Amino acid sequence: MLVVEQLLNGLQFGLLLFLLAAGLTLVFGIMDFVNLAHGSLYMMGAYFAATFVAWTGNFILGAVMALGATLLLGIVLEYVALRHLYGRDHLDHVLATFGLILFFNDAVRLIWGPAGLALPLPAWLTVPVQILPGVYYPAYRLSIIVVALLVAALLYVVVMRTRIGMLIRAGASNREMIGALGINIKLLFTLVFGLGAALAGLAGLMQAPILTVQIGMGENILILAFVIIVIGGIGSIRGAFMAAIFVGMIDTLGRAFLPDLLRKVLSSTAASTAAPAISSMLVYLLMAVVLVVRPEGLFPAAKR
């Protein structure tokens, strides 16, 4: 029954990655902006959650407050600095947001100290739930899956079925045109960036109880999120969803089962040293293969 558990773990990790990648791909698809600091927003979400939960003593309330705080932070960041970079070279984006990563990491170190924080779960989320006869799964991980699926569905409805979503899609396919039609494009961009920040914050605060809240926690996962949007096709939410699940599964299952598989062909010491490296590399290998075969990603967004 280990297989079921690991499959669920893969799904949960994939959905979490999707939340992160969705914001990234929205911001990229609509504003044509490469945001390396997206991982910092993920980290800030986790730190906010750890702080607010400790303050209020209530997990849900603290999480909601952290979500609001990350949203606000994203909007401020966009308003103060990043909106001046739209239309500039991608390299400028990379550099400016690289500077933001440095800033956020040290700001966190200054405010919360270099040691990590823990975000304890309330008792009702720690019980294992029976999902199949004889198969138990932690309630918290299950609730991550549920919340992330709900958010993904909500995102789909908002983007595909509402007026604001229509504007977002229109902005992605032709920015000048919707500006010319009298839509306040600056406001739209700020909102989209805030939405992306909130999604990153949500991913961060949900992951926080599983891992420790620490400086640099956003960096590795950010690169994974980039891998996902590149595999899925930049600007495509559907592609990001598929690729996120795929990458989550590969990463989790690789880590779980590769050591045993390798042990069958290699000596056990060689296997136990090679396995972690190979499973870390699998995702990047996948991306390299996808880019070589389909340089635009698996589900490229419509051409401008």
Partner 1 sequence: MKPVFNLRNVVVALVVAGLILLPVYSALTGKVFILTMFTRIIILALAAASLNLIMGYGGMMSFGHAAYLGIGGYAVGILAFEGIGSGFIQWPVALLASALFALVIGALSLRTRGVYFIMITLAFAQMAYYVASALSRYGADDGLTIYKRSSFGGLIDLSDRTQFYYVCLACLLGGVYLIWRIVNSRFGLVVQGVRSNEQRMQAVGFHANRYRLVCFVISGTICGLAGALLANNTDFVSPAVMYWTRSGDLMVMVILGGMGTLFGPVIGAIVFLVLEELLSQVTEYWALIMGPLLLLIVLFARGGIMGLLGRFSRG
Contact positions vs partner 1 (CB under 8 A)? 28, 34, 81, 84-85, 88, 90-92, 94-96, 98-107, 109-110, 219, 223, 226-227, 230, 234, 273-274, 276-278, 280-281, 284-285, 287-288, 291-292, 295-297
Least distance from partner 1 to the Cβ atom of residue 193, Å: 16
Least distance from partner 1 to the Cβ atom of residue 102, Å: 4
The count of C-alpha atoms lying within 13 angstroms of the C-alpha of 293, restricted to the half-sphere facing its C-beta, is 10
Nearer to partner 1, 58 or 220 (CB): 220
Least distance from partner 1 to the Cβ atom of residue 226, Å: 5
Residue 24 near residue 38, CB atoms below 8 Å: yes
Least distance from partner 1 to the Cβ atom of residue 170, Å: 22
Nearer to partner 1, 34 or 192 (CB): 34
Nearer to partner 1, 42 or 140 (CB): 42
Least distance from partner 1 to the Cβ atom of residue 279, Å: 9
Least distance from partner 1 to the Cβ atom of residue 272, Å: 9
Give CA separation, 214 vs 48, 113, 122, 207, in Å. 12, 10, 20, 12
Alpha carbons 111 and 215: distance in angstroms, whole number = 11
Least distance from partner 1 to the Cβ atom of residue 225, Å: 11
Distance, C-alpha 133 to centroid of its chain: 32
Least distance from partner 1 to the Cβ atom of residue 70, Å: 19
Q: Three-class SS string for the chain?
A: CHHHHHHHHHHHHHHHHHHHHHHHHHHHHHHCCCCCCHHHHHHHHHHHHHHHHHHHCCHHHHHHHHHHHHHHHHHHHHHHCHHHHCCCCHHHHHHHHHHHHHHHHHHHHHHHCCCCECCCCCHHHCCEEEEECCEEEEHHHHHHHHHHHHHHHHHHHHHHHCHHHHHHHHHHHCHHHHHHCCCCHHHHHHHHHHHHHHHHHHHHHHHCCCCCECCCHHHHHHHHHHHHHHHHCCCCHHHHHHHHHHHHHHHHHHHHHHHHHHHHHCCHHHHHHHHHHHHHHHHHHHHHHHHHHCCCCCCCCCCC
Least distance from partner 1 to the Cβ atom of residue 35, Å: 11
Nearer to partner 1, 84 or 120 (CB): 84
Nearer to partner 1, 53 or 240 (CB): 240
Residue 137 near residue 146, CB atoms below 8 Å: no
